[in-house]
Amino acid sequence: MSNEKHALIIGAGLSGLASALALMQKGWQVTLYEQAQEHKGIGAGIVLAANAMKALDKLGVGQEVRELGAAVRSARIRDWKGNLLVELPVAEQAERYGADSYLIHRADLQQALLAKISTHELVLGKQLVSFSQEKERVHAAFADGSSAHGTILLGADGIHSRVRKSLFGEDSMRYSGYTAIRGIATYQDPRYPLESGGGFEAWGKGIRFGFSHIGNNRIHWFAAINAPEGENDGPMGRKRETLRRLDGWYEPVRAVIEATEDAAILRHDIYDRAPLRKWSEGRVTLVGDAAHPMLPNLGQGAGQGMEDALVLARCLADNGTDSAHALRMYEEKRKKRANAIVKGSRLMGAVTQWENPLAIAARHFLLKTIPARIQSRRLDWIVGHEV
Ligand SMILES: Cc1cc2nc3c(=O)[nH]c(=O)nc-3n(C[C@H](O)[C@H](O)[C@H](O)COP(=O)(O)OP(=O)(O)OC[C@H]3O[C@@H](n4cnc5c(N)ncnc54)[C@H](O)[C@@H]3O)c2cc1C
């Protein structure tokens, strides 16, 4: 293609799709190359905090997300027996940030983004194997022997990013020490009515459990459980084993798991990578998890990918034909914040997964005694941000 503003986007996950929309808004031509043969409706619930919702509004899909998802209008943290530790002032937070936070099924979010992309902009079944760049262009080569060229190349290819590895070499993933078990169930509990949205988290010894509405009468739940890396489900199977680990916990913890189809329960060991000092090289850069894979404890992975997309598009628009300079500007504007959230997510996970009874008692004492308004301010720099 001869267009001097043509982006090759590797990976059509949430960050790749968001980047495509943001760049198109600035007059760029985009082609998304996705290795999967089809978009499967997999995944569980995903939280989109106020900063992510504002980014989605700018990408033109905020309204769809509000219709498909559920606003967070109540958020409580309990101990594993159900004793209330803190009720976060979500209405006050939403007013301060100028937006509600939402939960949505990942597949619904992906569909909302995909609906804005035309079929000729997305090529499925294309796995990038290598790329090269010269002064004016980048070339991408795919596993099926085909190739493409464009003005810039974006690695939106996730935590196992080939683009990142080619640019900066292999770096090992860091196992968090816990595995995430997640499910979605059609489930109702009068204490957590659909109208109030949100839900609760229950924190125990080496286990954190979450329960939230995600719209359409569905509850998303997760259990983050301390476990050796690569541990199998055990002879009882995933569902029974999870129920065993949560024996005696506050109901509706076990009830919502019971209401979930066994085969639909997901399990993933949780990883991140150490922050990078650079994301770009010439006409090639990284966005989303490829740039800053983070533990999910602050619910910011997708939101940070959306922020990347908007800032990148703005830098490209502001820098005319000097794309390499625009990519450097993008990296400068985004790196500090994204890397700080990688670190914050690790810290949050360390505290929520504690096993030491004394440390847990201290944690719960602080949650109960520090005013909720002050606790909620701790996240202002993340959730109150607007790109
Ligand atoms: C348990 C868990 C819970 C989470 N909860 C939340 C949450 O509540 N809120 C939140 O904001 N975030 C959450 N996240 C993080 C969020 O899911 C990720 O940050 C986000 O999905 C990253 O999107 P991405 O597009 O950057 O990467 P990915 O979703 O990994 O997409 C990368 C895409 O690139 C494709 N690809 C890879 N290699 C190639 C190649 N060589 N050629 C072509 N295509 C390729 C892949 O097939 C894939 O489609 C959670 C993560 C986990 C693990």
d(CA 232, CA 235): 9
Cβ neighbours for 213, distance < 8 A, ≥ 6 positions apart: 70, 103, 192, 194, 197, 198, 199, 219, 220
The pLDDT-based confidence of 119 (bands split at 50, 70, 90) is confident
Helix (H) or strand (E) holding 377: helix 372-377
Cβ neighbours for 371, distance < 8 A, ≥ 6 positions apart: none
Backbone φ and ψ of 167, nearest 5°: -75, -45
The pLDDT-based confidence of 39 (bands split at 50, 70, 90) is confident
Structure tokens at 93: 């937070």
Cβ–Cβ under 8 Å, residues 259 and 186 = yes
d(CA 342, CA 340): 5
d(CA 59, CA 337): 20
Side-chain-side CA neighbours of 19 within 13 Å: the count stands at 36
**Rounded average pLDDT over 165-192:** 94
pTM: 0.95
Cβ neighbours for 132, distance < 8 A, ≥ 6 positions apart: 138, 139
Who lines ligand 1 at CB under 6 A? 10-16, 33-36, 46-47, 127-128, 156-158, 162, 180, 268, 270, 288-289, 296, 299-303, 305
Please check the confidence at residue 360 and state whether its pLDDT lies above 80: yes
**pLDDT at residue 359 in the model:** 97
Residue of the CA atom closest to atom 35 of ligand 1: 11
d(CA 94, CA 72): 9
Task: Judge residue 355's burial from the number of C-beta atoms within 10 Å of its C-beta, 0-12 exposed, 13-18 middle, 19 or more buried.
Answer: exposed
- Å from CA of 82 to ligand 1 middle: 32
Share of the chain above pLDDT 70, in %: 99
Structure tokens at 381: 């720099």
In the chain, what are the domain boundaries?
Answer: 6-173+273-384
The pLDDT-based confidence of 2 (bands split at 50, 70, 90) is very low
> Tens of pLDDT along 295-331?
999 999 999 999 999 999 999 999 888 999 999 999 9
- Å from CA of 135 to ligand 1 middle: 31
Closest by alpha carbon to 249, among 86, 371, 83?
A: 83
Which CATH architecture is the domain 6-173+273-384 placed in?
3-Layer(bba) Sandwich (3.50)
**Rounded average pLDDT over 252-273:** 95
Strands 102-105 and 70-71, sheet pairing: antiparallel
Please check the confidence at residue 147 and state whether its pLDDT lies above 50: yes
**Rounded average pLDDT over 4-25:** 97
Task: Judge residue 135's burial from the number of C-beta atoms within 10 Å of its C-beta, 0-12 exposed, 13-18 middle, 19 or more buried.
Answer: exposed
d(CA 386, CA 286): 21
What are the residues facing 174 on neighbouring strands?
272
**pLDDT at residue 1 in the model:** 43
**pLDDT at residue 197 in the model:** 86
Side-chain-side CA neighbours of 317 within 13 Å: the count stands at 13
Cβ–Cβ under 8 Å, residues 153 and 8 = yes
Please check the confidence at residue 3 and state whether its pLDDT lies above 70: no
Cβ neighbours for 231, distance < 8 A, ≥ 6 positions apart: 179, 269
d(CA 265, CA 182): 6
**pLDDT at residue 41 in the model:** 67
Ligand 1 mutation pick, 269, 289, 294, 352, max ligand atoms within 8 A of CB? 289
- Å from CA of 314 to ligand 1 middle: 23
Ligand 1 mutation pick, 14, 31, 298, max ligand atoms within 8 A of CB? 14
> Tens of pLDDT along 94-114?
999 999 999 999 999 999 999
- Asked which of 11-15, 55-59, 319-323 is least confident by mean pLDDT, the reply is 319-323
Structure tokens at 319: 């820098």
As a whole number, the mean pLDDT across the chain is: 95
